[in-house]
Structure 1
Amino acid sequence: MIRYALTRGALLLLGLFVASALIFLTLRVLPGDVAQIIAGVNSTPEQVAAIRDRLGLDQPLPVQYGAWIAGIFRGDFGSSLLTGAPVVGELVQKGQVTIPLGLMSMVIALLIALPFGVVSAMRRGHADGTALNIGAQAIAAVPVVWAGMMLVLVFAVWLGWFPAQGFPRGGWSEPGLAFRSLLLPAITIGVVEGAMLMRFVRSATLQAGGQDFVRTAAAKGLTRNQALIRHGLPTVGLSIITVLGLQVAGIIVGAVIIEQLFSLPGIGRMLVTDVGNRDLPKVQGELLVLTGFVLIIGFVVDLVHRLIDPRQREAE
């Protein structure tokens, strides 16, 4: 297990290195001149050149990349080109919105997918099971933006149960208000992602129900559903853990969109703004943090899968 963890850890670091290089190079081919944006439209070529020299933008790309990576190893992601504020401080501040939003969305998705997916599989061929399956397929096809707009219209505008937009200025120093501000956005992401995950839970449950050990348990006197619950569902958990790791990417993408819709001051909204401003150090840091989060989740999922699945340990 230790050797496996070290191998996966090495692959994680390699993945982060490759991701950092791709992020750095991709941002350099975007149209627009950062120095020109900072200097303004009425600036002279000399002023633009001076800004480019001060920010190190006139250095060769390998030198710029090396300086960025060296700073990351020191815990320094650089400073904003437009405001001069440290990128790390901005990420920590905005992460107080994005991370709770992602965690809440994941919990809601699981609360939807697990029970309804299992019930849909156990009630296969019945009207209620068919209705659940059709409903999941319909909701999974709904764009998260449209779902968010409908939920705002119903629960924020008509019913007034939740704030339509914004996050308290005091942040989590006002925990009740902060939680209410994130709940409707989290429900928006969680419902759509939960519908997608529910379809997989249903398929995995049906597959488990067809295994020999489940049929043997049923032959010994258990009903089909009893055999499935006692002996089949534990095997479904392994598959769900793997797919849940993949769902994290969808939740992050959803968070970027939803933060715009609900005017939440998170990393996703900051990323969209910084891309428009061509604030390269901030965009680099934001993309690397989001990518690293997805890679780390995959690393953790692999380790958990290895720990709870004896077949993989026996294969060593």
Structure 2
Amino acid sequence: MLAAARRLVRSLVVVVLVTAGTVTLLSLAPGSVASVILGENATPEAVARLNAQLGMDHPLWRQYLDWLGDAVTGDLGTSPLTNEPVMHAVLTRLPVTLELAAMALTISLVAAVLLAVVSAAREGTATDRATTAFSSVLLSVPAFIAGPLLIYLFSLRLGWFPVSGWARVSTDGLGANLRSALLPSVSIALTEVASFQRALRADLVTTLREDFIGAAHAKGLSRSYVMLRHALRPSSFSLITLAGINLGRLIGGTVVVETLFSLPGLGQLIVSSIISRDLISVQGIVVFVVVAYVLVNTLVDLSYGWLDPRVRKVGAA
């Protein structure tokens, strides 16, 4: 109970620090939301008047505390540019970002597990070295490079996927939706495959040297059964931890691909909000992402007991 309380306090501190840092950084940029609303030809008096109406003439710390008090109750504020509640804007665009992140995580995990199992089963061989080299190549291809390359090859040259835009399941069907999401998801997933594969391979190699693996082989069990049934699960701690941590990077990666592929997700929303100096929207999006990130990492911690029963025994003791 005490450990859970400490974790909750740490999570709240993280949320406050991240949102406060975001507000501070945005305050250093020139201009204001009032100047964006009124346009370039607005007089200083008109800008000052609108800032006062929006409450932007108060000190930064007071603006932040006023916003934080509302955010605690679930009210992330209303965008002064669009008059749309920030929570509504986030929830409207969240399915796009979640689908991209989930597809990218699934693709990267499946590819990483396959590559790691093949590599660890043939440690020190040419296959192992080739797999490691391939993961190194993937690690050097970030999303802003992979995206245009995939668009050129699979959209412009082969015509298999749309160049840009988003197809919704409700209106366009599941097939069209997956076609519009696949290339952006692969763009994000490529670099994650390399980090996942390396972590899992290292743990698998260590596990395969344990006595209980030797005992399983002595019983006449096949190598594939021992690998998948006895070695893979206890070797997945680092992989699951990385997946939880990298989920934040996957969501961050959607900022790039949503811009490249013109997708209506959180990434595109936060970019447009930053450009237009919409501080309220930026704060709301950041706190939403941070809370989701903290929850995912909590679930990752809880998953350790399922992966290895020894963790449950240690916790109970």
Q: Taking structure 1 as the reference length, what is the TM-score of the superposition?
A: 0.90
- Does 1:122 find its partner at 2:113? no
Residue 302 of structure 2 corresponds to which residue in structure 1? 303
Using the TM superposition, give the Cα deviation of residue 257 of structure 1 relative to its aligned residue in structure 2, in angstroms. Answer: 0.8
1:112/1:191 contact within 8 Å kept: no
* Compared CA separation, residues 253 and 310, structure 1 to 2 (3 A): same
Residue 263 of structure 2 corresponds to which residue in structure 1? 264
Query: Counterpart amino acid of 1:174?
Result: D
Residue 175 of structure 1 corresponds to which residue in structure 2? 173
CA distance in 2, matches of 1:162, 1:192: 21
Using the TM superposition, give the Cα deviation of residue 292 of structure 1 relative to its aligned residue in structure 2, in angstroms. Answer: 2.1
CA distance in 2, matches of 1:208, 1:15: 35
Residue 281 of structure 1 corresponds to which residue in structure 2? 280
Pairs within 5 Å for 1:152-191:
152-168=151-167, 172-176=170-174, 177-191=176-190
Query: Counterpart amino acid of 1:157?
Result: L
- Does 1:240 find its partner at 2:233? no
Pairs within 5 Å for 1:18-33:
18-33=17-32
CA distance in 2, matches of 1:80, 1:278: 10
Return 5+ residue gaps in structure 2 as ranges: none
* Compared CA separation, residues 218 and 309, structure 1 to 2 (3 A): closer
* Compared CA separation, residues 21 and 306, structure 1 to 2 (3 A): farther
CA distance in 2, matches of 1:143, 1:258: 11
Q: Taking structure 2 as the reference length, what is the TM-score of the superposition?
A: 0.90
**Per the alignment, in what secondary structure is the counterpart of residue 235 of structure 2?**
helix
Return 5+ residue gaps in structure 1 as ranges: none
**Per the alignment, in what secondary structure is the counterpart of residue 82 of structure 1?**
coil
- Does 1:292 find its partner at 2:291? yes
Using the TM superposition, give the Cα deviation of residue 216 of structure 1 relative to its aligned residue in structure 2, in angstroms. Answer: 4.5
Query: Counterpart amino acid of 1:46?
Result: E
- Does 1:42 find its partner at 2:57? no
Using the TM superposition, give the Cα deviation of residue 41 of structure 1 relative to its aligned residue in structure 2, in angstroms. Answer: 2.1
Residue 14 of structure 2 corresponds to which residue in structure 1? 15
1:208/1:232 contact within 8 Å kept: yes
Query: Counterpart amino acid of 2:257?
Result: I
Deviation larger for 187-196 or 45-54: 187-196
Residue 197 of structure 1 corresponds to which residue in structure 2? 196
Using the TM superposition, give the Cα deviation of residue 227 of structure 1 relative to its aligned residue in structure 2, in angstroms. Answer: 4.6
CA distance in 2, matches of 1:283, 1:12: 20
* Compared CA separation, residues 276 and 289, structure 1 to 2 (3 A): same
1:208/1:228 contact within 8 Å kept: no
Q: How many equivalent pairs are there?
A: 314
Query: Counterpart amino acid of 2:236?
Result: G
Query: Counterpart amino acid of 1:26?
Result: L
1:23/1:288 contact within 8 Å kept: no
Deviation larger for 6-15 or 233-242: 6-15
CA distance in 2, matches of 1:183, 1:67: 41
Residue 61 of structure 2 corresponds to which residue in structure 1? 62
Residue 79 of structure 1 corresponds to which residue in structure 2? 78
Using the TM superposition, give the Cα deviation of residue 21 of structure 1 relative to its aligned residue in structure 2, in angstroms. Answer: 2.2
Deviation larger for 108-117 or 78-87: 78-87
* Compared CA separation, residues 193 and 172, structure 1 to 2 (3 A): farther
2:233/2:308 contact within 8 Å kept: no
1:242/1:305 contact within 8 Å kept: no
Please report the RMSD computed on the Cα atoms of aligned residues, expressed in angstroms: 2.2
CA distance in 2, matches of 1:22, 1:285: 13
2:142/2:188 contact within 8 Å kept: no
* Compared CA separation, residues 209 and 6, structure 1 to 2 (3 A): same
CA distance in 2, matches of 1:222, 1:77: 57
Using the TM superposition, give the Cα deviation of residue 308 of structure 1 relative to its aligned residue in structure 2, in angstroms. Answer: 4.3
CA distance in 2, matches of 1:128, 1:41: 61
